[in-house]
């Protein structure tokens, strides 16, 4: 069995408190159980081989699930990592964007980037792509160059791919997941 199938078998879709939302649980981000370092490192190396590292200055990740994968990717390619924060710190040149469906604060903040920087977003999972698109738009508005997104897991659904293409993004996926893993409907989402 290949790594993608091994990881796919360890992904679960579970209901959140009160059954209102559903979430993916997997061994790649440390949120619900220990990180499988071998699987994470193997996926990261595979994804890193697809990227022109010379074209990026920073790897960007977002809490809470994207922090560990962003660090692993940045370490593998020798680029510094900048993590988003939900802390309301008033710093100059803060880049902000909203994640409307977040249950833990909706405003993300990025510090330490400047116009002309070139970044790559690394996510643990992409389900509908809404948060990533909002981040990309905010980064571009601040003069940050971004045209690629790396994700360990992504729902294999045309709506996600259309959303990324509409933003001019190349999406690099480690393990595609079948559409029934989507926590929320994907068609017609605007997020």
SS3 for 102-117 is CCCCCEEEECCCCCCC
pLDDT at position 185 is 67
* 7-16, 92-101, 175-184: range with lowest mean pLDDT: 92-101
* 17-21, 54-58, 163-167: range with lowest mean pLDDT: 17-21
Question: Could you say which of 3.40.50.300, 3.90.1170.50, 3.40.190.10, 3.40.50.2020 is the CATH number of the domain covering 3-177?
Answer: 3.40.50.2020
Which helix (H) or strand (E) segment is 176 a member of?
strand 170-177
> Which residues have CB under 8 Å from 181's CB, separation 6+?
11, 13, 24, 127, 155
- Return d(Cα 110, Cα 94) in angstroms, integer: 6
pLDDT by residue (tens digit) across 84-138? 888 888 788 888 777 765 555 578 888 999 999 999 999 999 988 888 999 999 9
Tell me the domain boundaries of the chain.
Answer: 3-177
- pTM score, whole prediction: 0.89
- 167 is written with which tokens? 């933003």
């Amino acid at each position: 069995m290949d790594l993608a199938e091994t990881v796919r078998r360890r992904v679960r879709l579970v209901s959140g408190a009160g059954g209102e939302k559903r979430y993916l649980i997997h061994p790649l981000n440390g949120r619900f159980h220990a990180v499988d370092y071998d699987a994470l490192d193997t996926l990261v190396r595979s994804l890193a081989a697809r990227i022109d590292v010379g074209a990026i200055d920073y790897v960007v990740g977002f809490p809470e699930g994207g922090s560990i994968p962003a660090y692993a990717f940045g370490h593998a390619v020798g680029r510094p990592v900048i993590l988003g924060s939900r802390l309301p710190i008033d710093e100059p040149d803060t880049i902000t964007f909203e994640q409307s469906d977040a249950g833990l604060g909706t405003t993300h903040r990025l510090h330490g980037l400047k116009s002309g920087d070139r970044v790559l977003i690394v996510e643990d999972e992409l389900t509908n792509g809404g948060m990533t698109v909002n981040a990309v738009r905010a980064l571009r508005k601040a003069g940050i160059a971004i045209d690629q997104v790396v994700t360990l897991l992504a729902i294999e659904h045309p709506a996600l791919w259309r959303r990324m293409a509409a933003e001019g993004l190349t999406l690099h996926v480690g393990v595609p997941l079948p559409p029934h893993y989507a926590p929320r409907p994907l068609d017609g989402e605007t997020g």
